[in-house]
Amino acid sequence: AFSAGISSSNTDWTGDTFVFPTVIYREGTGYNPSTGIFTAPTAGTYVFYVSVQSTFQKSIYVDIVLNGFSKVRAMAYNESGSSISIYQTGTNLVILHLQTGDRVWAKRAGGTGYYSDRAHITTFSGFKLY
């Protein structure tokens, strides 16, 4: 099981894999905070959750990916053109059956701006259900 977050914002991020370097909770060695990738230590049914917040006048789309294939998407859409600071939050959860060595991560599918701070607003979590 793991829960990890990002402690700063990025308004022009165009990377691929979201790396959540701040480990909030981790039991076992499946999650790597240097790469943002979870590698299943054993086969079983796992649950993964991602939460992402858009930053001012930006949108961000984040997929939970299994071995390179997108499974679900979280969208935080905010391109109203308003001068008011509006932040949107997108979340999604997926249940996946994994084999030993399968890899799961959060990937940017579109958009360029996410918000987070020391309270870890943008997060990625997972655990083995059985």
Domain CATH for 53: 2.60.120.40
* Cα angle: 23, vertex 124, 51; to 5 degrees: 130
Q: What is the pLDDT of residue 67?
A: 98
List the domain range (segments joined by +) for residue 97. Answer: 2-128
User: 87 pLDDT band (50/70/90 cuts)?
Assistant: confident
What pLDDT is attached to residue 35? 97
Residue 51 has pLDDT above 80, yes or no: yes
Token pair for residue 124? 């990625």
pLDDT for the residue numbered 81: 64
Residue 117 has pLDDT above 90, yes or no: no
Proportion of the chain in helix, strand, coil states, percent, rounded to 5: 0, 55, 45
Half-sphere exposure of 130 (CA within 13 A, CB side): 0
Higher pLDDT, 56 or 39: 39
DSSP 28-58: SS-EETTTTEEE-SS-EEEEEEEEEEE-TT-
- What pLDDT, on the 0 to 100 scale, is given for residue 84? 66
Q: How many domains does the chain have?
A: 1
